Amino acid sequence: MSTAALAPEWLTAREIALCPCGCIGKRRKANFVEKTIIGAANVLKQAMFSADVASQPGLLQRIQPAVKVVTMLALLMATAVVRHLSILVALYAATLAIAVASGLPLWFFVKRVWLFIPIFTGVIVVPATLNLITPGRVVIPLGTWFGHSVGVTAQGLTSAGLIVARVATSISLVVLLTLTTPWNKLLAALRTMRVPKMFVLVLGMAYRYIFYLLETVTDMYTARKSRTANHRNNTSSGRAFVAATAGATFGKAHALSIEVHDAMVARGYTGNARSIDHFQIVKRDVVWVLACSVTIAATLGVNYALGS
């Protein structure tokens, strides 16, 4: 299967340490060293993979980045406003069509979007379908609990459907944008959109040095791993090691920031950001904008017609 070749094994076994609920983390029995290294490696692979996809020919790849950013934001807002499941499903189907037209393997795209957040959302909204949380017309009675009847409500089911469909559509739109736009073009698009150049400079530099710092961290962890092959993680020494690694990394990061500043000043930087990019809107961009406008107008129109 061609998609299997395109979607490397890390995508299917994706367990980036950046979990959707951020700080709670995943509570799984695994060595913290291993998890940190895997997380770091995944970020790198994902970035390289995105860069490869973005350079392939396809529908979205041919649209000017700034135009893409604006239309994607408009579509995101339309998605957020919609309150009917049927419209959301139609919008989601549209993102699938665009993905295919942009040369993204369908199955890969679906997996990339649904793992992990929409599925996670689906799981956490299950309790919200009960009348305990979302009152309404009970369609599936489940019995009684402490003298109260418990059941799944029509409102609860609709609500769960709405949120999962909306989350999936929103993520699809963002993934479509970032997978078909090289990072530097995206930054350039932000600049043309009057996002302060200084902010774009910071953003670009931050992204660039994530990889450098990840490498530093991975090296430190690998060194530790080679020394602690036999005994399982000892929690308190593990914590001390994490703190030392994070602390040492900050020391390196700060030294690096001074060096980078020197390198910038040496080449004439005085606090103003300048950039080389210039954009030209061509016919296909106009067509794309029109198509998106029609989609958004239709979405909002149908949404209004169906009422609340």
Show contacts with other proteins in window 153-212 (CB under 8 A): 154-156, 158-160, 162-163, 166-167, 169-171, 174-175, 177-178, 182-184, 186-187, 196, 198-199, 201-212
Judged by beta carbon, residue 20 or residue 290, the one nearer other proteins is 20
Judged by beta carbon, residue 253 or residue 291, the one nearer other proteins is 253
The region of 89-97, 101-109, 231-239, 294-302 touching other proteins under the rule CB under 8 A is: 231-239
Judged by beta carbon, residue 50 or residue 102, the one nearer other proteins is 50
Q: What amino acid is encoded at 183 in this protein?
A: W
**Paired strand residues for 263:** none
Judged by beta carbon, residue 144 or residue 293, the one nearer other proteins is 144
Q: Which helix (H) or strand (E) holds 151?
A: strand 148-153
Q: Scanning residues 99 to 158, which ones bind other proteins (CB under 8 A)?
A: 113, 117, 121, 125, 128, 131-137, 145-146, 148-150, 154-156, 158
Q: Let me know: does 193 contact 66? Beta carbons within 8 Å.
A: yes
Is there binding between residue 278 and other proteins (CB under 8 A)? yes
- Residue corresponding to tokens 């970020």: 43
C-alpha–C-alpha distance, residues 260 and 208, integer Å: 12
CB of 221 to other proteins, least distance (A): 9
3-state secondary structure of 179: helix
Sign of the alpha-carbon dihedral angle for 191, 193, 199, 203 = negative
Q: Which of the 8 DSSP states describes residue 24?
A: G
Sign of the alpha-carbon dihedral angle for 174, 176, 179, 185 = negative
Is there binding between residue 77 and other proteins (CB under 8 A)? yes
* Site size for other proteins (CB under 8 A): 133
Q: Let me know: does 192 contact 66? Beta carbons within 8 Å.
A: yes
Is there binding between residue 231 and other proteins (CB under 8 A)? no
Q: Let me know: does 10 contact 42? Beta carbons within 8 Å.
A: yes
Judged by beta carbon, residue 106 or residue 205, the one nearer other proteins is 205
Judged by beta carbon, residue 1 or residue 147, the one nearer other proteins is 147
CB of 255 to other proteins, least distance (A): 8
Out of 223, 263, 281, 298, point to the residue binding other proteins (CB under 8 A). 263
Out of 214, 289, 292, 296, point to the residue binding other proteins (CB under 8 A). 214
- Residue corresponding to tokens 């530093």: 216
Q: Which helix (H) or strand (E) holds 3?
A: helix 2-6
